[in-house]
Chain A
Amino acid sequence: MTVKHAELTQEIQRQAKELLASGEVAAFLGFSAGSLPMTTRPFVARTPQEAERLVWNSFCTVNLANYLPALLKSLEPPRSPKDPPPTGPLPKVGVLATGCWSRNIVVQIQENQVDRSRLVILGVPSRGMVDRKKVLAALQGKEVLEAQEDDHSLRLKGKWGETELSRWAVVRDNCQSCRHPNPVLFDRLLDAASERQAQAPFSQIEAIEAMSSDERWQWFQQAFASCIRCYACRNACPLCYCSTCFVDDNRPQWVGKALNAPDVLTFHILRAFHCAGRCTDCGACESVCPMGIKVRLLTQKLSKDILTLFGAEAGMDVSVPPPFTTYAPSDQNPFECDTCSSKGKKE
């Protein structure tokens, strides 16, 4: 493990133990080690002993904010839907938050999904998480039986021998293009703030925007052709909390449920639009995709548009309402398009 990550693991375990032992939190949400190299498991420690299983490394790719609403609810006294909400202080949850996850927590607070007063947020400036699929590609599919990380390299072993890769070369796309690695909302910060800031955060999007309309359509169809509709992207996303998703509804059936291309593409484009102005580019959707689809390019395009049109980035400040929940006369006129060359005119 990297020196930095080894230190952080110790610090996380120490603080989680302390929070659980003192009773300040009833549960601590973090990661435990996975059963395979380069994997971790989202894990809830409920006793100081369990906190010893917490780890921190380059493979913490799942967004912990996704678990918060259900975990908080599970700690409330049971009640039926018609009972009044509980009064008095409710048990708290400790949670780890990198830059993007903390911004998701901000969005959850703004959307009334979590109660800030019930969270103890341990901020962790992120060094960027590693993409297992990039490692697999770099090794041409050879199986990794052991992975050790140093601060700037990954040492990988298998039946085929061993090799060393540059860590940054296999860091996830969303982490490579990240401009906010530091938590924006926290109670304690576990490490010095990171100074890394991507210079061209939207370069992947600009490459697609530069295509002709026909090329983009080709790209879109091809990029999502291998989707199996497992909905891992949706379910790993802290923004997707509708009690019934439009794809799950069957009366009426908004979208077909099998692998017919129009249905698959409809699902992806609608899911992305539901995240406009709310997505923090945490990359969980892409990391969990079993088929290796670059799912986040759709949400990242919308993040770029939101930044261009509204000057807004999701979850940077609890007191700033998300752009699509407010109206101001100075808002961009939707009939005037500043991003395309045609500059559509009002009638």
Chain B
Amino acid sequence: MKIRINDHQLIQWIQGLITKFQVFYPLQDANSGVVHIQKATGSLNSDAILKPVSGVPKTSIKTFFMPQPEVIARFSIAAQDAEAFVLKEPGTALQTQVLLNIRPCDARSVALNSMPYAEDPYFQKMLKRTVIIGRPCDETCSTCFCELVGGSPHGTEGMDLVILKTEDGLALEVLTQKGADFLKQNPCAESAGLQPTPQQQGGQELPIVAREMQKKDLLALYNASFWPQIAEACINCGACTFLCPTCYCFDIQDEVAGTKGVRLRYWDSCMFPLFTLHASGHNPRGQKVQRVRNRFMHKFKYFPDRFGPVSCVGCGRCVKDCPVNIDIREVISLMQAV
């Protein structure tokens, strides 16, 4: 369900949210021209609300669901402490956070990441506390390819609420129960009784690329001859995986300062030498070509085999920022041709 709202109502509503919650939104840096997701402080410029920046933010919103790092437990190592080395809940207070003016690709990444993390308590906790207010893309970049991987510049998957432009002004649509509950507590104009728009139940068709990859022989893809050529220029940095909204691998380390320790969960990258390094010293992905292959095989073969869609939303961040211009769209074409 949706209601019509005017500019003034939207501005008032969002200014109100900023006083109650942590609100994050994309903003373009005037000096560098780069778009970053920033925390709203004080009151927002009405332009920032009404005219969301075009262009993909430098980093994705995954940090709001998988904080870098996340404290998952605390412990003491003091000898006299009766509970030394006992892991305890971190006791971090989790308040509602609002992500505003989020692009369809970034919102969809949350829905995709929810699949492998369906039973992950940390991710689910973050998901519960976060309200995503999306905004369709009026303008796409040359590096955007959301439609190829099953998204759309006007898609709403992963959003709780969406601000739409209609012929006669703005509209606010409720997409999830979480969005409806949020609006009930924080009404905008006449939004009080709005119920979520019924979503298609499981009828969403997979994109061609996902169905194609599911049909392909895993070993034929794995042993394809093009991997060494793709990997040759790669410097095995983590720019692609860390900027990627759907790269969700993590590692866990304990860090101790004095007698107090924390167990941290932080982002890992299949490009890194520690990734899948066994305690024996053996690493099944010890070489660059194996690491590079893993990133693409995970997104376009292992993930669709297990969950259906491909683990890519086509935001184009890796295309733009790969230091050696490895273009994932070319890799998809090569994989499709196997």
A interface list, Cβ under 8 A from B: 34-36, 39-44, 62, 66, 133, 136-137, 139-143, 145, 159, 226, 228-232, 234-236, 244-245, 248, 250, 253, 256-260, 287-288, 290-292
Contacts and interface: CB of A to CB of B under 8 A. Distances in A.
Interface string B3-39: 0000000000000000000000000101111111000
A245 B272 CA distance: 11
A40 B102 CA distance: 31
Contacts of A62: 235, 323-324
B253 A257 contact: yes
Contacts of B323: 62, 232, 236, 287-288, 290
B264 A258 contact: yes
B232 to A, nearest CB: 6
B55 interface: yes
B177 interface: no
B28 A141 contact: yes
Contacts of A258: 68-69, 264, 266-267
A189 to B, nearest CB: 26
Contacts of B83: none
B296 to A, nearest CB: 16
Contacts of B242: 228-230
A66 B233 CA distance: 10
A235 B141 CA distance: 28
A308 B274 CA distance: 39
B233 A41 contact: yes
B142 interface: yes
A248 B272 contact: yes
B238 A145 contact: no
Contacts of A44: 232
A236 B32 CA distance: 23
Contacts of A256: 253, 255, 264
Given A142-B33, A228-B59, A248-B272, A36 B237 contact: no
B143 interface: yes
Nearest to B321: A290
B251 interface: yes
B237 A235 contact: yes
Given A141-B33, A244-B273, A288 B235 contact: yes
Contact of B324 (A41, A136, A229, A244): A41
Contacts of B32: 133, 136-137, 141, 292
13 contacts: A35-B325, A36-B320, A41-B326, A42-B324, A62-B235, A136-B34, A140-B33, A143-B142, A228-B242, A250-B274, A256-B253, A257-B264, A290-B239
B243 interface: yes
Contacts of B264: 256-258
A157 to B, nearest CB: 11
Interface string B110-145: 000000000000000000000000000001011100
Given A143-B55, A290-B321, A35 B34 contact: no
A161 B127 CA distance: 41
Nearest to B142: A145
A31 B114 CA distance: 40
A291 B58 contact: yes
B319 interface: yes
B266 A257 contact: yes
A230 B325 contact: no
Contact of A35 (B35, B36, B255, B330): B330
Contacts of B141: 143
Given A36-B320, A143-B55, A260 B69 contact: yes
B305 interface: no
A39 B237 contact: no
Contacts of B267: 258
A257 B251 contact: yes
A236 B255 contact: no
A292 B235 contact: no
B327 interface: yes
B33 A40 contact: no
Contacts of A291: 58
A35 B239 contact: no
Contacts of A292: 32, 34
A133 B320 CA distance: 11
A66 B68 contact: no
B294 interface: no
Contacts of B232: 42-44
Nearest to B326: A41
Contacts of A290: 58, 239, 243, 321, 323
Contacts of B69: 257-260
Interface in B308-338: 319-321, 323-327, 329-330
B330 A231 contact: no
A163 to B, nearest CB: 13
B34 A141 contact: yes
Contacts of A39: 325
A259 B319 CA distance: 24
Contacts of B251: 257
Contacts of B233: 41-43
Closest 10 CB pairs of A and B: A141-B33, A258-B69, A288-B323, A232-B237, A258-B266, A230-B238, A34-B325, A290-B321, A235-B235, A35-B327
